[in-house]
Amino acid sequence: MQTAHPRSRQRWLIRGLALATLMAVSTGCWGTWGLRQSYRNYITSPIAGGSIATEPGATWLDGPGSGKGPFQWDFDWSTFDVATETGSVQLKGGVHTKGHAFGGGYLLDTSFWNPRLDIAGDTGTLYADLNYRPSAGSPPALQNLVAAPNTAFATVDLSGEDFTPDADGFVTISDAPMTGIPAAMTLIGWDAFYPNPVALDPYSVRFKPEWAPVFINQPTVTVSQTTDLRVGDVITVWGKGFDPAGNIGTRPPFSGQPAGVYATFGKFTDPWQPSTGAPSANRPITSQKWAVPAATRALIDPAGTNPSFVTIDAYGRWKATLTIGTSAAATGDYGVYVYPGSGAVNPAHEIETLTTFAP
């Protein structure tokens, strides 16, 4: 869960969130999905003693009981061919669920981010970025967080849907039945609690067939979890609004090329920003990924398989996973730090998200 901090350098966060809200209202596009009602009720019951929190982009709708209603997700983009009834609808936002406190954390600790529906006629597949602690086993033990981006999570029955756009050009899917994909249910341990096939809450979405992503030159960073971290946990970091043609490198390996940004975890000492002239010694890193545009990545990783790199797409978006570690640095603050690569300097791309470890 991303937590604001007085020293955060995400200057455009408030403006960006306000713009995203305005876009969702003005486009008339939205999505609704509640995971599974009985799961929400269980997590928030006295038995699990847990909680559910929504992250920017998702809103928990009201409803009866502690599990309330489903979640409404902001619309991001869509590309859908009405003639062939194929395409994708991308929503955005996150929902973090946790229950059964244990050892300074929670045995049940799962977050669901950015659901995307891929449509192929009567059948759809819902994908999500997951962060979760694997099943504890017996006796219970607190496992490390695992990141599973772009996981095929559910099969969606679209046989009852009419994909004909209405008079305003919108396509609407209403309460489409969903069942969990067995591999995904095993990942998060739901196969041990619910009968197979695992029934999920229905899925609804309203979208226009073609709504391209929007590039807004206001870099922001979202982190899947920032509190109660443990050594060995793997978290997910999403970047948006990073100009893929910016940050021209001044040293190898990308001298004269758009050099993207480093996404790092470490214990940095103020000042840490390259734009202030801070030495690299102030930036001791324990985990790093390098986000670069596809053309730049091809120069050093033509197969696109080197796990040290991730790709910034044409709309300024990237996604990386980082492993939590400790540093020998005597002073500083642990956090996720993003800054330009290959010697480039750009204060707007120097962003910190501070983190804390579990007690």
pLDDT digits (tens, 9 = 90+) for 238-289: 999 999 999 999 999 999 999 999 999 999 999 999 999 999 999 999 999 9
- Residue 27: pLDDT band (50, 70, 90) is low
Q: Does the structure show a pLDDT above 80 at 2?
A: no
Nearest to 111 by CA among 76, 147, 137: 147
Diameter of the chain measured on Cα atoms: 64
Mean pLDDT of 36-51: 97
Nearest to 150 by CA among 118, 121, 172, 120: 118
* pLDDT digit string, tens, across residues 161-182: 999 999 999 999 999 999 999 9
In angstroms, how far is CA 201 from the centroid of its own chain? 21
Residue type, 320: A
178: CB partners within 8 A, 6+ apart:
33, 126, 154, 155, 156, 157, 199, 200, 201, 202, 203
Q: What angle do CA 153, 225, 245 make, to 5 degrees?
A: 85
For the entire predicted model, the pTM comes to 0.90
